Amino acid sequence: MDIAALKERHTLGEVVEAAGVRLRGRGRVRQGVCPFHKETEGSFTVYGDSQRWYCFGCGEGGDALDFIQRSEGLSLPEAIRRLDASPPTTAPVRHTTHERRNRIAVAPPDPALLTAVARHYAGELRRSPEARDYLASRGVGLDTALRLGLGYAPGAGLRTALAAAGFAARRVRESGLLTERGERFAGMITIPEIAAGRVRWLAGRAIEPGRTPRFQALPGPKPVLGLGRLGPALPWAVVTEGVFDWLLLCEWGIPACAALGTQGMERVAAALRGRRHVFLAFDHDAAGREAAATLGGLLGPRAAVVALPDGVADVAELATHPHGRRIFLRLLERAARAAR
């Protein structure tokens, strides 16, 4: 069976909505509440151009067949038969192999462009009291924010700034930074992954309460955020689940990186190869505990789980506690003793 042709006959958005997930919007990027974990924010994202989906909450992602496998508990052959038996959502269209490859490809990162974008947004952060106040409310000071390359996207001015820096309009369009509604990260704190002084990946977190989606990221593989900053010789590090868990530990001067979700622990374990001691500080819920157990099993005896106290959902919540840093260091010490 021609799997590519099968997926062309069944557009991802229609497959997802047929499963009961309501998607907002009609453009290239559509969003809804993830069916694979408990949430109300609408982190589940469908990309029309690549026909891929990704949830910024739980880290699940894939194509239409992956969605059917995950949602119905089917094997791949069963998912193929299930999709083939469904009425097609689009008329069959013949494409050459070259056209099909171009349709599903995700543009590779453009480090020079992304570095210019991060610098532009860092300047906007300096000029935005609202964005700085939001970071302060999460326990992150301006010095730490600028050291990590954080920025703020007010929603206007990026295209002009990049044109002035000499980037061609087509190069900007292909970067994924602009959508039909404007700048992808409008109204968000931007968080870059920096390696060898250049930005390789960019994500954003909305500062307005109730704004959906809370998180956005450029399409493509996600990194272990902050790992490149730690250096190969550092003997130990803390792995957190989310972005603001990581940011808070950076503010406290604790070496850390972020897995960016609870899925793909094999990828995280491979990235952590060579670290003698790894402390896992995932969220205090079922998904976080399962992810920590999976990653701990992959890492073996060099991993230790940091158990958050009851009533504390994640590391980021300690930002509002008057003794948050002291509490976390105590938990870290307890995890180290238990691992001996």
Q: Rounded to whole angstroms, how far apart are CA atoms 241 and 289?
A: 10
Decide: 42 and 33 in contact? Cβ < 8 Å: yes
Decide: 315 and 328 in contact? Cβ < 8 Å: yes
Q: Rounded to whole angstroms, how far apart are CA atoms 24 and 20?
A: 13
**Region of poorest pLDDT, from 41-45, 139-143, 235-239, 325-329:** 41-45
Q: How much is the pLDDT for 274?
A: 78
Q: How much is the pLDDT for 107?
A: 58
Indicate the pLDDT class of residue 253, thresholds 50, 70 and 90.
very high
* Tens-place pLDDT, residues 85-106: 876 665 444 444 443 443 334 4
Place of tokens 């105590």: 330
pLDDT at position 167 over 90: yes
Provide the phi-psi class of 114: left if phi over 0, else alpha when psi is between -120 and 50, else beta: alpha
**Residues with Cβ within 8 Å of residue 127, at least 6 apart in sequence:** none
Q: Which two tokens stand for residue 224?
A: 């272990």
Q: How much is the pLDDT for 85?
A: 80
Q: How much is the pLDDT for 99?
A: 38
* Tens-place pLDDT, residues 21-70: 888 876 778 888 888 887 777 788 888 878 888 887 777 888 999 898 88
Indicate the pLDDT class of residue 191, thresholds 50, 70 and 90.
very high
Q: How much is the pLDDT for 205?
A: 94
CA-based nearest residue to 260, from 228, 226, 225:
225
pLDDT at position 279 over 80: yes
- The dihedrals phi and psi of 318, each to the nearest 5 degrees, come to -70, -10
CA distances from 4 to 8, 85, 195, 216 (A): 6, 15, 35, 27
Decide: 74 and 67 in contact? Cβ < 8 Å: no
More confident site: 74 or 267: 267
**Residues with Cβ within 8 Å of residue 147, at least 6 apart in sequence:** none
* Tens-place pLDDT, residues 13-32: 888 988 888 888 767 788 88
Q: Which two tokens stand for residue 25?
A: 């919007």
Q: Rounded to whole angstroms, how far apart are CA atoms 107 and 298?
A: 31
Q: How much is the pLDDT for 258?
A: 96
- The dihedrals phi and psi of 317, each to the nearest 5 degrees, come to -65, -25
Q: Rounded to whole angstroms, how far apart are CA atoms 199 and 195?
A: 6
- The dihedrals phi and psi of 61, each to the nearest 5 degrees, come to -175, 170
Q: Which two tokens stand for residue 29?
A: 């990027």
Indicate the pLDDT class of residue 211, thresholds 50, 70 and 90.
confident
Cβ atoms within 10 Å of 102's Cβ, excluding its own: 10
Indicate the pLDDT class of residue 166, thresholds 50, 70 and 90.
very high
pLDDT at position 318 over 50: yes
Q: Rounded to whole angstroms, how far apart are CA atoms 104 and 115?
A: 25
Q: For residues 284-296, give the mean pLDDT.
A: 92
Q: Which two tokens stand for residue 125?
A: 């952060």
| Helix orientation angle between 111-127 and 129-137, rounded to the nearest 10 degrees | 90
Indicate the pLDDT class of residue 264, thresholds 50, 70 and 90.
confident
Decide: 124 and 95 in contact? Cβ < 8 Å: no
> CA quadruple 78, 79, 80, 86: dihedral positive or negative?
positive
